[in-house]
Every structure is written in structure tokens, then in C-alpha cells.
Amino acid sequence: MDSSQKDNDITDLTPIADCSLCGYRGTLLVAGACKPGDCCVIADSGRQIDRFFRANPGLAADYTQDGFWERRAIAARYLPTSQLQPLLTDPDEAVRRVLAYRVPLEWLRDLRNDPDREVRITVADRLPEQELELMVTDPDYLVRVYVAKRLPEGRLFRLVADPDNEVRRTVAERIPAVSLGLMVNDPEVSIRRIIAQRMEPDDLELISKDDDWTVRYEVALRASPALLQHLFDDAEEEVRLIARQRHEALLLD
């Protein structure tokens, strides 16, 4: 069987709408502004619908109440900003996700408590900093991670005791060094290591007796000569070794 015959045996699954059911058959179709199987608003094909509104953006407003969620969501991409507000309460999250990216910042507060996580994540990514703190109690950890990435560093203390490790890890990486003492008893070892890596050397004593030897090792890498001497008798050999090596190197300096 040659390649042309193989190609003929492959079924074309491109959705083709019935133009006889479309009100544009005598206008846009005749003018070449739409095309069955390629640029069509009534086909159940997101790609064809998008091409239709790209070619005819002025018609998007006619589809904000359409019964097909994908048609409404795609239409929302092409609507003028001034016409987006009625869609803030659209029943489908895909539509509201489009709005979360497009609406003016002052409208985002209406989406701050949206039931869809992806909508709230986008809000947390765009909301002005002065309003972002209102989302620190969001029920979804991933939303709070985005909040922790954008909150002003001086306001991160609101999240130091967050129940999720990823949120607290983000806080530990960003919070001012002078505030890291608030997190020395964090239950997650990897977070305490970050704290030991970022704390001011003069504050390292606060975490120098940590239960985990890898945290104490991080302390030994940055500790002052006086604190290093307290680590000479550490229970872990690697901590004792690095403490003595650093102490000797500091004396030579």
C-alpha cells in the first residue's frame, strides 16, 4: 500500500458544523470571514471558535450567554475590557479563569474568594500588594504559596506558622534574616536548614542545638569562632570535623 492510499484510509476527525443551521451563512460565509472546519463559531471545536473570534472580534459580545462553556470562555478573550464584568459570576471556572487574567486590578477583589483554585492563584499573582494580605488564609496551600512569593518581606510573619511545608519554605527563603528566629522550631528539617543558611551569624546560636545533625552542620559552616567551640563535642562526627576545620581556618586568617 503506497503512502497516498494510507492517507486516504485515515479518517478526518475535524468537526464540521452544518452551515444551514448558522445565521452567518449568508453574510460571513459568503464574505469568507468564516469557513467550515477551520473558522467556525458553531462547531464544537475550541480551535475553530478561537479562529472565528480572532477574525470577527466584534461578535464576541453576542456569545457571553451562550450555552457552551468553551464558546463563552473563548469569547471572553476577545471582549473589550468594559464588557467583562457581567462574566465575573459565570458558572464555569474556565470563563472566570480568562477573566482573572484580563479584568482591571480593581475588579480582582470580586474573584478573591472564587471557588476555583486556578482563578484564585491568578488573583494572587495579580492583586496589588496592599490587598494581597487578605489572601493569607486561603484554604488552598498553592494559593498561599503564590501569596508568600509576592507579599512584602516585612509582612511574611503572617505565614511563618502556616500548616503547609511549601508555604513555610517560601517564607523561610524570603523573610528578612532578622525575623528568622521565629522559625527555628519549624517541624520540617529542610526548612530549618534554610534558616541556618540565612540567619545572621550572630543569631545562629538559636538553632545550634537543633535535633537534626544536618541543621547543626549548616550552623557550623557559618558560625563564629566562639560558637564553633561549642560544636567541637557535637554528637555527629561530621559536625565536629567541620567545626574544628573552620575554627582553625579562622584562626589562621
Q: In CATH, what number is assigned to the domain containing residue 249?
A: 1.25.10
Partner residues linked to 39 by β-bridges? 35
Q: If you write DSSP's letter for every residue of 114-126 in order, what string do you get?
A: -S-HHHHHHHHHH
pLDDT in tens, 155-191: 999 999 999 999 999 999 999 999 999 999 999 999 9
Instruction: Give the three-class secondary structure for 13.
Output: coil
Q: What is the pTM of this model?
A: 0.85
- Does some domain include residue 219? yes
- Please name the residue that has the C-alpha cell 464544537: 44
Q: Is residue 81 part of a domain?
A: no
- When pLDDT is cut at 50, 70 and 90, the band that residue 10 belongs to is low
pLDDT at residue number 95: 98
The residue segments making up the domain with residue 196 are: 176-253
Say if residue 148's pLDDT is above 90.
yes
Residues 36-55 pLDDT 10s: 999 999 999 999 999 999 99
Q: Residue 226 and residue 130: Cα distance in Å, rounded?
A: 43
> Does a structural domain hold residue 221?
yes
Is residue 119 one of the residues assigned to a domain? no
**Distance of alpha carbon 157 from its chain centroid, rounded?**
20
d(CA 160, CA 167): 8
Whether 89 is in a domain gets the answer no
Which set of grid coordinates corresponds to residue 192? Answer: 530549618
- C-alpha distance from residue 10 to each of 6, 7, 146, 176 (Å): 7, 5, 46, 62
pLDDT tens, 91-130?
999 999 999 999 999 999 999 999 999 999 999 999 998 8
Whether residue 212 lies inside any domain: the answer is yes
Separation CA 63–CA 251 (nearest Å): 76
> Which grid cell is 202?
550572630
Residue 252 lies in a domain: yes
Measured CA to CA, the distance from residue 216 to residue 188 in angstroms comes to: 14
In angstroms, the CA 25 to CA 144 distance is 50
Number of compact structural domains in the chain: 1
On whether residue 230 sits in a domain, the answer given is yes
Question: What does the alpha-carbon distance between residue 40 and residue 56 come to, in Å, rounded to a whole number?
Answer: 10
Q: How confident is the model at residue 204 (pLDDT cuts 50, 70, 90)?
A: very high
